[in-house]
Amino acid sequence: MKKNYDERIKSLMSQMTLEEKIGQLRQCGPSLVGAFEVSFEELLDMMFDGRISEEEFGRLMSTAEQDFHEDDLKAGRIGSYNGVGDAKTANRLQKIAVEETRLGIPLLFGYDVIHGFRTVTPIPLAESCAWDPGLWERTARMAAEEATSGGVHMTFAPMVDVARDARWGRISEGAGEDVFLNSAYGTAKVRGFQGTDLEKTNSMAACVKHFAAYGAVEAGKDYGRVDMSMQKLFEEYLPPYKACVDAGARAIMPAFNDINGVPCSVNGWLLKHVLREQWGFDGMTISDANAIAECVEHGIVPDRKTAAKAALEAGMEMDMTSNVYAGELLKLVQDSETEIETVDRAVEHILRVKFELGLFDNPYQTDEEREKSTLLKTDHRTLAKEAAVKSMVLLKNDCMPDKDGTRRKSDAGPLLPLQKGTCLGIFGELAEDKKEMTGAWAIGSNPEDCVSILEACELRGITYNYSRDAENISEMAAKSDVFLAVLGEKKDESGEAASRADITLPGEQIALVEKLLASGKPVVAILFNGRPLSIPHIAEKVPAILEAWHPGTEAGSAVLDILFGDANPSGKLTATFPYASGQCPVYYAHIQTGRPGGKSKFTSKYIDTPLDPVYPFGYGLSYTKYEYSGLQVRCEESAFRIHVSVKNVGCRDGEEIVQCYVQDKTAKRVRPIRQLKAFEKVLIEAGETKSVEFIIPFTELGYYDWNMNYVIDPGEFVFYAGGDSNCSLCEKAVLRV
């Protein structure tokens, strides 16, 4: 049961000056001074656009000093910091806040703990491919233990933006294209981050982002517009945020984008009517970095003063780093342009979260000894490896073709897993580059902690030959049994501000694969990437493909576990792999048209690509095979009960992700061709058959009508069960309301 802090908050508020109240609304980031004459943001731009190297950036950063604006802190003008992630600094700043300010209000430290802190787990898009809420919760719990040991109280995660356009760089930060899966992922992460009691020193507040519909930015271009119907917004984009609120998330971060012309940062309908009045959210809101000030650039307000007024009155409570509130609110209140009651409500929400975190009773929640003993523990690395293995998706596993292009006889067996003692010929710079394994938004990591494929081979005593390029293929072929082509993206080619118009592999990587195939050696493609890629050429010609994503600290070890059969791959895609970049956005749960795509000319399709994507949502192979049968659907008082039998017909044990989809055949608004409504990950021994049961409440089968009423229509529904979104085993049932 949540404690009631109302009296303590009321007492504290009665003692605060207006300046101190405004200070609580300010989240400050440390400024960098010395060593260069440009801002940190300009320095980043210089690195990203090639004016300085990454090494030069690191050198300049190492000689800079951080300015924490301590004079403002002592005066009570700072309530929170962003980007402080070490115990020594956090405790030093907290000591100033608690012991040197007039009221001793503790600081709240926020940090981007997106997929691990020092121990890095796979990027969220990758980890979602495990379809394992228990795993998601455990990795979040581990991240919370590490981050809180470094002084962090709040993580800006989970991101639950439904993302259906692989061109969008930030697809890497969430659970992919499906609303149901994002909801399950988000609630698991909230539970993991926050634990069973927020007052415990190893629990941190979850800040759900980006509210709302950031994943639907036009053309997949970061920070772009979102324009959609209210029905689509409420059915396909809002549910994951609502699920996280219901799970108890203590903070919400509004998105950079506008929705139907109104930026989320100043969108009172979104932040007050939907979030607080409809959903009952009682935590705090915090802007994304500089987002309030950027409303001027949006063109929704003329200046920073108006931006401050509009954001606060819309329900934005803490200003991350733009200093708009710090610079403008005092005069706005003094001039009676903004009511003091509006400021008070925002401060109360922030103080409540600080009380819930136990900061008033225990402001120093960590120390350097705890930090040292917690970061990168052995069991943390073990969990990171487990997550990496379960996140990887086996996309293809054929036997090798003969030189004339025909397939070998089936008794030759698939290429993977490799036999022990196989000598590897490894190609591609990503096989050795440890820093690229963390992926985007792993700011608490140390790249040297990561295990590359080459290092993993050395640790296991696996014989290998390595070349960054294809200059010595014939020499490598003479010494190697199997070639590994390590392909994909570097970490800064996905993530924030890394949208791409073309998501195909670089030409030099495709050329490398062609040369490796021409050698006659078996070729396995390993993909390290932060988004679905358009890989029709690779999918057609390479006999075995492992989607490894950006897998984190234990990258190389996890890859070898799968390649050599120490682990049976079980991951399934949570985002569709398009045939071409121009197909984006492409997703399985699309609306049926009056002219469904087909061979006839006048149907819904592109004339220059196949009708189907390269790999569909929910797809993934194993080293064993499964057969589905006996699908039964029974209509009960308030739900449908579904049973399906799954048999492991292969020769080794495996985990199968059993998926259940539903299609509403006839409704007053056209419905998706099918929607994921349930899933379960099941361990099935070789030769064993298991019965899997799903219960789908009638309330999960509704939609919003033209007047935004949530309705559940009687009539025929089709239930599908299988191993991916293209499953064909189906059974009809009638709902009579």
Taking alpha carbons only, the member of 213, 170, 245, 115 closest to residue 552 is 115
Token pair, residue 404, equals 């004339």
Q: Is 288 a catalytic residue?
A: yes
Tokens of 79: 């309530």
* Torsion of the alpha carbons at 569, 571, 575 and 578, rounded to the nearest 10: 20
Using alpha carbons, list the distances in angstroms from residue 334 to 267, 329, 331.
Answer: 24, 8, 5
What ranges make up the beta strands (E) of 611-665? Answer: 626-635, 639-648, 654-664
Closest CA to 393 of 618, 580, 190, 237: 618
Q: 76 phi and psi, to 5 degrees?
A: 80, 25
How far is 258 from 223, CA to CA, in rounded Å? Answer: 9
Burial of 346 (0-12, 13-18, 19+ CB in 10 A): buried
Q: How far is CA 151 from the centre of its chain?
A: 23
Q: How many CB atoms lie within 10 A of CB 237?
A: 23
Residue 459 near residue 453 (C-beta atoms within 8 A): no
Q: How many CA atoms lie within 13 A of 22 on its CB side?
A: 23
Q: One of 178, 258, 288, 664 is an active-site residue; which one?
A: 288
Pairing, β 154-155 against β 205-211: parallel
CA 384, 390, 395, 397 torsion-angle sign: positive
Contact criterion met (CB below 8 Å) for 135 and 357: no
Collapsing DSSP to helix, strand or coil, 719 comes out as strand
Q: Which residues are catalytic?
A: 288
